[in-house]
Amino acid sequence: MTGATSLLGAGVAERLVARGDDVVALQRGDANPSWPHVRGDIRDAGIVDKAMRNIDAVVHAAARVSVVGDWDEFESVNVGGTQNVVDAARAHGIPRLVQVSSPSVAHFGEPLMAADADPADPDRAHGHYARSKAMAEQLALDAADGSLDVVAVRPHLVWGPGDTQLVGRIVERAASGRLVLIDGGTALIDTTYLDNAADALVAALDRVHEVSGEAFVVSNGEPRTVAELLTRICHAAGVPGPTRSVPRSVASGAGAVVERTWTATRRDGEPPMTRFLAEQLSTAHWFDQGRTQEQLQWAPKVPLAEGFERLAASYSRHNV
Amino acid sequence: MTSASLPPADLPGLDPEWSRIVSAPDAAGTPRNWHVLDTGPSGPGEPVGTVLCVHGNPTWSYTFRSIVAALGDTWRVVAPDHLGMGYSERTDRLHTLADRIDELGSLTDELDVKGPVLVVAHDWGGPIALGWAERHTDIVTGVALLNTAVSQPDDASVPPLIAAARAGRMLRTVTQRTRAFLDGTLRLAHPALPRDVAAAYRAPYREAGRRRAIADFVADIPLETDHPSRITLDQVGEGLDALRNVPVLLLWGPRDPVFADRYLRDLQRRLPQAQTHRFEGAGHLVIEDAPVAAAIARFADDLAAGRTRELRVVPALLPTSSTERRTLWSGLEDRAEDSSVAVVEMGRRGPARAITWKQLASTVRDLSAGLTAVGVRPEDRVALLVPPGADLTAVLYATWRAGAVPVVADAGLGLPGLRRALRGANVQHVIGVARGLSAAKGMGLSGTYISVGGFAPGLRRALGVDYTVAELAQIGRQLPTSTTPSVTAEAAVLFTSGATGPAKGVVYRHAQLEAQRDIITETFGIRPEDRLVAAFAPFALFGPALGIPSAVPAMDITKPATLTSRAMADAIAAIDATLVFAAPAALRNIVRTASTLDQAQRERCGRVRLLLSAGAPVPRDTLRAASLVLGGCEAHTPYGMTEALPVADVTLAELESGGRGNGVLVGHPVSGVQVAISPLDPTGAATGALTDTPDVTGEICVRGPHVKDHYDQLWATQRDSARDHGWHRTGDIGHLDPEGRLWVEGRIAHIITTPAGVVTPVGPEQRIERLDPVRLAAVVGVGPAGRQAVVAVVEAPLQDKGVASLDLTDALRLAAGVEFAAVLVVDELPVDIRHNSKIDRVQVSQMASEVLAGRGGALS
């Protein structure tokens, strides 16, 4: 298991441990999970090789996730890291690999309505993250052959209690009055409640032989407007939802300026707006789940409504 | 000369596997290489037969790629490029029409084409293909012709495009040296051809040297009587008799500057067995513009199955010998000596005009004899461009009496819609008021022009009026009564509202209209002593047929919402009415203006026994309020459509006690009418066998003696609507409840197909509309079929436009029992023109898709 310190990675590892699998995590940090782990960087081929001795299957979730940053870093972590995982899997004759990917690898800016998991295309993917993940998915799926089964799973906008990536940022911005909608937040998107995404990855691990070489988008299958999603997340956290809206052109223009200054001033962390983010928040992207659910023999157990209740419960615990 | 070659492998829609090069002699006996699309006989199993596709000028076999794709698996499809055309060999000789017929024969011999053969031809491929067919009658099983001609009809001038290309020395310049003719033809597509498709049409004709045959082809059109190919063309035309037992399908694009509708009529005259589908909006390249391949596939299915072409229901309608036939004007003849009022036209200040039964009966008799005398023959079509009232009533019944076919298109279609409808219906005579005749002239309608009322000589000349109605009545007074048309003769062409695409012409025969009259009489218990206020277009004309007096209120009858309660009360008073027929939009206005009635008017209104409202669903509250304006009379809202009215009927009392179900309750089928349901498959298509099992949702199908005979010149539409023998598919969806009552859930076109199954709109809409903030709701799908998300779009006056608040969203999801992906609030939902109450859900869905795609589409 790579990327086991992320919320999703940990969710997968917990499920595997709970059902009796032996989990070995490859991780950079010193978080001390309740399962064995090897310390090291995914970019270090030697460490990756070492971590993958006596292993039956790999879930590769480690990635650099950000909307800004240098290409070199995305490439070395996301593409190079995947290459190391694939090489090690071959070297040790590991038969199963689940590549955690992203719907952005096949989203080129146009609205997607009930879309399929189209092939990843690094040349057309928007931004460093999507491009590097597209390259990684391609090389992982290309590695599938008679001795190695590979499936790419693309969870769409994973969120849940404890999530600092998506929920945390939305709530933080709303709390400081900086959360705005773009074009009224009318774009329809689908998202994935954390537990459902983790279940789907475990299902993919079990089905990898039957679906080897294929890619699947995973989501709750409940598309909602951006306005509704943001408002529900804010309300769950006890902060007011967005009330202002700016036109896409303004958001996109602001994003371009921010990207330039952010990079020029070498600031850390995530910028408040980028062109990619403006596009994501104002363009429909939701995916058909029929093939995913049938092929992975998986269905989301937690509907959106219950997810929001759980999120609200987690915030009220924190606030007490 | 350049030999034949294979087309480039990357032309859109063309599979390189279909192409082959074949050698066959030309008319001079020289072996020539042909490029042919040919799908067999190599496939698995024996093909059903051969589809031989013959292209025109300046196209090539590429034009038939959709037919190859649709039929290539079951039939052997053979589509050659003529010599000198497409990718066939370029020769140094002129190929005349006679040559090309011979050459096609040599080629089919070489290809060993076996019967049965379905011949498909377009443009000037028509004469070649028909010439071939006449020599191969033993194997020809069917013919489908697309915008073509076999003659220059006497009444037709030379097509302007051809005339221009033929003009003297211009010919080679226009057709060969430049691409003017080629590009001009490709620009005739509606909508424009995709760039890559147009390029594919042009691909074999890039250099002038490859375009010689295009020029020769144009030069070979025998416009002149002494043209060398004239004899061949005449022979082809005269030889059509040899094909009289062969089913023919004419597939026509009327927006064709070359082969206009008159060429269609010429073909219909020469091939009386032909079925026609006129694709409104399509043009010369009809195969690019319209679903021609699908129609030909259905035609081919019918031929393969040996199905005959009779899709009409007439034979079952012949009256049994035990009942005496009552014609549409029998009620009028019964009262021919009655001096009481038959029809009253109301003006703003009381009755504007009244005619007695005696007057009406004699006018109808005289006028009909006059019509016959001046050449209006039985089954001729007559456009009636007269507003509802006494004149229209007289003209309508006289037209019927003369055996001619009234074509009634209401002004609600708008002028362009009216023009399409009347031109498509092929009317031979026009009867109208000045405005109507002027419009007819503007539409280019030819034939006898008859005016209602006398005009000043200048206007009369300008409008080309041949006779006035008064003159005809004068002429007819001395003449014997016209022959009574048979029950199977065509009796009317009416038009659908055109809410979903162009208005469709609906043809009724006399038996069907007589049955409609009888069903109305029985369903609503109409007695001779009843008197009718008719504020609803179709019924405004039915008084004399029902044998009861009628009054048309002062209103614009094509705009039902213009009926005020005072206008209605005045009309009621004028004839002491017992019945009121009004459209739903009219009821709303009556209720809104009810406070303007004085005491006397209220009392008059109180004597009405029955209120009837049809045309669109009537909200229960509106019906109740309107009934209260009429002293709490019994109120009915029958369900039906242009093709069958009424189908079912429900009273206000039944609506109030009927409980709630998924959809609009429209009641029990009326006497003599059967209703069945064709269940939906998961894609939302009504493919299930007809059933009356309760609570099964599907397409509502109707059978009864008053159902339409057929759609006019819409073969494929008619075939679909009548595919269950004797039944009419309404395009509405709904279900029967355990008590046998019908509930309407929407239109087939409005079905939402989600991954979890099919959702119909009307039920959820009704549940939403019960919520206080919501004035009007539309429930639609967004996304591709089978994967749609359900969206509610509502008029909610006190809410902000755009994505609805969470509270409203939650309330709507709860009320509807549907997990809407989004709830959008708009100022106004689009409604149809004619009824001003049917929501255009297709438009709403498009708008919602735009907005929810995040393209910033306007919420209006």
What's the CA gap between B792 and B779, in Å, rounded? 5
Q: How many CB atoms lie within 10 A of CB B17?
A: 11
Average pLDDT of chain A? 90
Tally of structural domains, chain B: 4
Nearest to B79 by CA among B44, B142, B110, B121: B121
Q: What is the mean pLDDT of residues A276-285?
A: 82
Peptide bond connecting B116 to the previous residue in cis, omega within 30 degrees of 0:
yes
β-pair partners for A38: A26
Q: Can you give the pLDDT at residue B43?
A: 55
Pairing of strands B248-252, B140-146: parallel
The pair phi, psi for residue B846, each rounded to 5°, is -65, -45
A112, A116, A225: best to mutate for the B interface, most B CBs within 10 A: A225
**Is B831 found in the same domain as B720?**
no
- CATH number of the domain enclosing B655: 2.30.38.10
Q: Is B480 exposed, middle or buried (0-12, 13-18, 19+ CB in 10 A)?
A: exposed
**Is B475 found in the same domain as B443?**
yes
Q: Can you give the pLDDT at residue B857?
A: 47
**Is B833 found in the same domain as B728?**
no
Whether residue B445 is contained in a domain is answered as yes
Encoded tokens for B481: 């009564």
Whether residue A1 is contained in a domain is answered as no
The pLDDT confidence band at residue A269, using thresholds 50, 70 and 90, is low
Whether residue A177 is contained in a domain is answered as yes
**Is B251 found in the same domain as B127?**
yes
Alpha carbon of A277: minimum distance to chain B alpha carbons (Å): 13
Question: Any CB–CB contact under 8 A between B806 and chain A?
Answer: yes
Nearest to B491 by CA among B385, B361, B372, B382: B382
The pLDDT confidence band at residue A310, using thresholds 50, 70 and 90, is very high
Q: Can you give the pLDDT at residue B154?
A: 63
Nearest to B650 by CA among B734, B556, B551, B773: B734
Q: Which helix (H) or strand (E) segment is B595 a member of?
A: none
Q: Which helix (H) or strand (E) segment is B295 a member of?
A: helix B292-305
Whether residue B178 is contained in a domain is answered as no
- Per-block mean pLDDT, blocks of 10 residues, chain B (860 long): 90 96 96 95 77 97 97 95 97 94 97 94 97 96 96 68 72 86 94 96 95 92 84 94 94 92 92 95 96 96 76 48 82 94 88 92 96 95 92 96 92 81 91 94 92 90 94 95 93 82 91 95 94 82 92 85 92 94 90 92 92 85 93 94 94 87 92 96 92 96 96 94 93 95 93 93 92 93 94 93 94 96 94 69 92 67
- CATH number of the domain enclosing B803: 3.30.300.30
Whether residue B717 is contained in a domain is answered as yes
The pLDDT confidence band at residue A316, using thresholds 50, 70 and 90, is confident
- CATH number of the domain enclosing A39: 3.40.50.720
Whether residue A197 is contained in a domain is answered as yes
**Is B235 found in the same domain as B106?**
yes
- CATH number of the domain enclosing B105: 3.40.50.1820
A228, A245, A246, A291: best to mutate for the B interface, most B CBs within 10 A: A228
Encoded tokens for B1: 């000369």
Residue B694 near residue B726 (C-beta atoms within 8 A): no
Q: Can you give the pLDDT at residue B414?
A: 79
What's the CA gap between B628 and B611, in Å, rounded? 10
Nearest CA in chain A to B855: A283
Whether residue A257 is contained in a domain is answered as yes
Domain that holds residue B385: 336-485
Tally of structural domains, chain A: 1
Q: Can you give the pLDDT at residue B420?
A: 87
What's the CA gap between B784 and A114, in Å, rounded? 7
Domain that holds residue A147: 7-315
More confident of the two residues A9 and A277:
A9
Kindly state the greatest CA–CA separation across chain A. Answer: 55
Q: Can you give the pLDDT at residue B500?
A: 64
**Is B734 found in the same domain as B825?**
no
3-state helix, strand and coil shares in percent for chain A, rounded to the nearest 5:
45, 15, 40
What are the tens digits of pLDDT across the range A239-259?
999 988 888 777 777 777 766
**Is B104 found in the same domain as B249?**
yes
Out of B485, B508, B528, pick the residue that ends a domain.
B485
The pLDDT confidence band at residue A233, using thresholds 50, 70 and 90, is very high
- Would the CB atoms of B821 and A288 count as touching at under 8 Å? no
Beta strands in B520-627 (DSSP E): 532-535, 550-552, 579-582, 610-612
What's the CA gap between B787 and A115, in Å, rounded? 9
Cα atoms in the Cβ-side hemisphere of radius 13 Å centred on A175:
10
Question: Any CB–CB contact under 8 A between A177 and chain B?
Answer: no
Nearest to B516 by CA among B719, B384, B670: B670
Contacts of residue B824 in chain A, CB cutoff 8 Å? 186
What's the CA gap between B474 and B369, in Å, rounded? 10
Out of B283, B305, B327, pick the residue that ends a domain.
B305
What are the tens digits of pLDDT across the range A28-56?
877 767 888 888 999 999 999 999 999 99
Question: Any CB–CB contact under 8 A between A239 and chain B?
Answer: no
Residue B53 near residue B293 (C-beta atoms within 8 A): no
Whether residue A320 is contained in a domain is answered as no
Whether residue B820 is contained in a domain is answered as yes
- Supply the DSSP symbol for B659: -
3-class DSSP assignment, residue A151:
strand
**Is B792 found in the same domain as B808?**
yes
**Is B841 found in the same domain as B773?**
yes
Alpha carbon of A48: minimum distance to chain B alpha carbons (Å): 41
Q: Is the ipTM of this complex over 0.85?
A: yes
- CATH number of the domain enclosing B425: 3.40.50.980
Out of B730, B748, B766, pick the residue that ends a domain.
B748
Report the amino acid identity of residue A153.
V
Encoded tokens for B360: 């009406």
Q: Can you give the pLDDT at residue B315?
A: 47
Cα atoms in the Cβ-side hemisphere of radius 13 Å centred on A140:
34
What's the CA gap between B733 and A207, in Å, rounded? 41
Residue B693 near residue B680 (C-beta atoms within 8 A): no
| Catalytic-residue membership of A315 | no
Residue A113 near residue A286 (C-beta atoms within 8 A): yes
Cα atoms in the Cβ-side hemisphere of radius 13 Å centred on A188:
29
Q: Can you give the pLDDT at residue B312?
A: 46
Mutual angle of helices B357-373 and B390-401, in 10-degree steps? 50
**Is B712 found in the same domain as B771?**
no
Beta strands in B62-220 (DSSP E): 76-80, 117-122, 140-146
**Is B347 found in the same domain as B463?**
yes
What are the tens digits of pLDDT across the range A150-175?
999 999 999 999 988 788 888 988 88
> Residue holding tokens 């990684």?
A136
3-state helix, strand and coil shares in percent for chain B, rounded to the nearest 5:
35, 20, 40
Whether residue B602 is contained in a domain is answered as no
Mutual angle of helices B434-442 and B414-424, in 10-degree steps? 70
What's the CA gap between B547 and B224, in Å, rounded? 58
Whether residue A2 is contained in a domain is answered as no
Structure-derived torsion over alpha carbons of residues A26, A30, A35, A37, reported in degrees to the nearest 10? 30
Q: How many CB atoms lie within 10 A of CB B830?
A: 15
**Is B481 found in the same domain as B457?**
yes
Question: Any CB–CB contact under 8 A between A290 and chain B?
Answer: yes
